[in-house]
A and B are shown apart, each in its own frame.
Chain A
Amino acid sequence: DADVTQTPRNRITKTGKRIMLECSQTKGHDRMYWYRQDPGLGLRLIYYSFDVKDINKGEISDGYSVSRQAQAKFSLSLESAIPNQTALYFCATSGGPNYGYTFGSGTRLTVV
């Protein structure tokens, strides 16, 4: 099994729909992150969490929300999807600088 699992791998949804992207990790790390990747823009941080009671906004949190259900689970929601949220979304976990980040394989989201 992968250290960081993201579901679904691909999703097409309509404008205005609510959608949840899920992430689970088996590394036992406390820190979890959600990034989105857009061509030419690199990865931008949406939200991050250091434990189940600690949620922090990243640089592009508008239009997104998160839930840290357990140490191992961190979900990203789009309350009302819009086309410019079409992107590749990555979840990551970290045990600190010596570990860097471990990334999931990504969720490719298309909003039509």
Chain B
Amino acid sequence: AQSVTQLDSQVPVFEEAPVELRCNYSSSVSVYLFWYVQYPNQGLQLLLKYLSGSTLVKGINGFEAEFNKSQTSFHLRKPSVHISDTAEYFCAVSETGFQKLVFGTGTRLLVSP
């Protein structure tokens, strides 16, 4: 079975600073990896995904993530955050059969001026 660990429950950062949200996964089989964002009082929106190929994937809103198989990690990064990036971010994993997603517990990104 797959599992996901998001090491930080909350990450405070100043506007225009870089940020990294950490995600580690556990699986005995090949996986697909996803990052979702949840703005206040909304559903979840897909930021980016890794299915195969290049380990550096780019998503919406200037976010990118790097798949590291040896470290079993899929950390999310943005070089310069905006106030509007304040939200909760969820990492998720599925086996390559893609029957279902297993989510991490989420990281709340708090961007202040």
Closest CB in chain A relative to B83 CB, distance in Å: 23
Alpha-carbon distance between A43 and B36 when the two chains are bound, in angstroms: 11
B32 interface contact, C-beta 8 A: yes
B27 interface contact, C-beta 8 A: no
Determine if B32 and A101 form an interchain contact, defined as CB atoms under 8 angstroms apart: no
**B14-22, B72-80, B97-105: which lies at the interface:** B97-105
Q: CB-CB < 8 A to B104: which residues of A?
A: 42
Q: CB-CB < 8 A to A104: which residues of B?
A: 43
Q: Residue on B with the closest CB to A35? A: B103
Determine if B32 and A97 form an interchain contact, defined as CB atoms under 8 angstroms apart: yes
Alpha-carbon distance between A96 and B100 when the two chains are bound, in angstroms: 10
A43-B90, A45-B100, A48-B100 given as contacts; is B105 within 8 A of A105 (CB)?
no
Q: CB-CB < 8 A to A44: which residues of B?
A: 103
**B-side interface mostly:** loop
Contact of B106 among A42, A50, A92 (CB under 8 A): A42
Number of A-B residue pairs having CB atoms within 8 Å of each other in the complex: 54
Q: CB-CB < 8 A to A58: which residues of B?
A: 100
Q: How large is the interface on A (under 10, 10 to 19, 20 to 34, 35 or more residues)?
A: 20 to 34
Determine if A103 and B45 form an interchain contact, defined as CB atoms under 8 angstroms apart: yes
Query: Interface centre among A35, A43, A92, A104, by most B CB within 10 Å?
Result: A43
Q: Which of A86-106 contact B (CB under 8 A)?
A: 90, 92, 94, 96-98, 100-101, 103-106
Q: CB-CB < 8 A to A92: which residues of B?
A: 44
Q: CB-CB < 8 A to A74: which residues of B?
A: none
23 A-B pairs (CB sep. < 8 Å): A33-B101, A35-B103, A40-B105, A41-B105, A42-B6, A42-B103, A42-B104, A43-B90, A44-B103, A45-B100, A45-B102, A92-B44, A94-B98, A97-B49, A97-B96, A98-B51, A100-B46, A100-B49, A103-B36, A103-B43, A104-B43, A106-B42, A106-B43
Please give 12 more A-B residue pairs, beta carbons under 8 A apart, in addition to A40-B105, A100-B34: A40-B106, A42-B6, A42-B103, A42-B105, A43-B90, A45-B100, A45-B102, A97-B96, A101-B44, A101-B101, A103-B36, A105-B42
